[in-house]
Chain A
Amino acid sequence: MANYSYLMVPESVDKAITAAVKEFAEGRKERYDIWRHGLPIWIVSERADKRVNQVQIEAVIKPGKSVAEPLEQQVVFTPGAYEDERAYEEKTALNAITRKVPSAEDVHKAGEGEFLSLAEAEDKEKVKDKLTSSLQKASKLPLEETLPPIQYATPFQ
């Protein structure tokens, strides 16, 4: 289980991140997501041929390193990337996706230092800067691992 929870962010932070993500994407004309599921999560995806570079922006609350330390409230930026090979077999109606991803170690390393305090995240420009640096890191992640095939039967290609 993850050692963090999502933080219900103040409206100022919510607005700043949402605006930063939208402006960033509009300026570059790349596909982007603002994906919330009722949680403070924004996912920005950048398509480059088959490869997708992505940053998960999440407002989280984490325990401190010891009992004496307070809970930490942060907006974390997690660089990630993946590449898909997709095949559809009409005879069996099987959709098969081979997805390559970076190793957990590389993702963890790339995410080091990629966070803002809640107060910093009220500044749209700081969010955009952090998003830019995280996406750059995402684009350099080697896709070393191939996931077990993602397969499911579907009548839709």
Chain B
Amino acid sequence: MADWYFHYTSQVAAQMIRASGWIWGSSDRVVYLTDELYGTHGDAADFLGIPVVGPAVGTQFGMVQLTKPVEMVCCIPRQLLNSSPLYGPYLAAPFWDNSTGRLIYKGGGREFRYPDPIRVAGLPWVSLVQP
């Protein structure tokens, strides 16, 4: 078992996580983690198979899609994950472009799932600089 686990996210999401002090996970309450610290946005997105586009927002120019960048990493010590079982590792699935069938990210990174929100106030963050 690793001593540290990592949660990759965008700057905007990181801001909200830091403000609230919690990673709430997705709507089914699973928080996705890995025990690998990737050095670039590209590696993290590729190995973890993270979607490239975000939701669409309405603007005066019509609908505009937000990107779903991977920019920040929250570093979580193992001791904080003791209240529930940590599932995995699974090899992350690839991610396809539904409009063309093209493979966007190949996946294959080590992915864990944690079924509860994680209190992360005061934990270190790493900013990924290189794309």
Q: Which residues of A contact B93 (CB under 8 A)?
A: 33, 43, 45, 52, 54, 82
Indicate whether A39 reaches chain B with its CB closer than 8 angstroms: yes
Partner of A104 from the list B36, B91, B102, B109 (CB cut-off 8 Å) is: B102
* Interface mask (A1-24 → B, CB under 8 Å = 1, otherwise 0): 111111110000010001000000
Q: Which residues of B contact A97 (CB under 8 A)?
A: 91, 108
With contacts A35-B26, A52-B93, A61-B63 known, is A105 near B101, CB below 8 A?
yes
B36 contacts A152, C-beta separation under 8 Å: yes
A2 contacts B99, C-beta separation under 8 Å: yes
The residue of chain A having its C-beta at the shortest distance from the C-beta of B113 within the complex is A33
* Interface mask (B69-100 → A, CB under 8 Å = 1, otherwise 0): 00000000000000000000101011111111
CA distance A54 to B91 in the complex (A): 14
With contacts A18-B28, A99-B108, A152-B109 known, is A39 near B98, CB below 8 A?
no
Indicate whether A38 reaches chain B with its CB closer than 8 angstroms: yes
Within the complex, the shortest CB–CB distance from B81 to chain A, in Å, comes to 15
With contacts A6-B53, A152-B36, A156-B110 known, is A34 near B101, CB below 8 A?
no
Chain A contributes a number of interface residues (CB within 8 A of B) equal to: 53
A36 contacts B56, C-beta separation under 8 Å: no
Indicate whether A107 reaches chain B with its CB closer than 8 angstroms: yes
Q: How many A-B residue pairs have CB under 8 A?
A: 128
The residue of chain B having its C-beta at the shortest distance from the C-beta of A86 within the complex is B91
With contacts A62-B99, A150-B47 known, is A2 near B52, CB below 8 A?
yes
Interface size class of B (residues with CB under 8 A): 35 or more
Q: Which residues of B contact A41 (CB under 8 A)?
A: 51
Indicate whether B65 reaches chain A with its CB closer than 8 angstroms: yes
Indicate whether A29 reaches chain B with its CB closer than 8 angstroms: no
- Please report A residues at the B interface, Cβ cutoff 8 Å: 1-8, 14, 18, 33-41, 43, 45, 52, 54, 56, 58, 60-62, 71, 76, 78, 80, 82, 84, 86, 95, 97, 99, 101, 103-111, 147, 150, 152, 154, 156
Given A14-B27, A35-B32; 7 other pairs, CB 8 A cutoff? A2-B98, A33-B93, A41-B51, A95-B110, A99-B106, A154-B35, A154-B110
A-B pairs with the 5 shortest C-beta distances?
Answer: A108-B101, A107-B101, A5-B56, A5-B65, A36-B26
Can you give 17 A-B contacts (C-beta < 8 A)? A1-B53, A2-B52, A2-B99, A3-B99, A4-B65, A5-B65, A6-B65, A37-B26, A37-B50, A37-B51, A39-B55, A39-B68, A103-B101, A110-B101, A147-B106, A150-B106, A156-B35
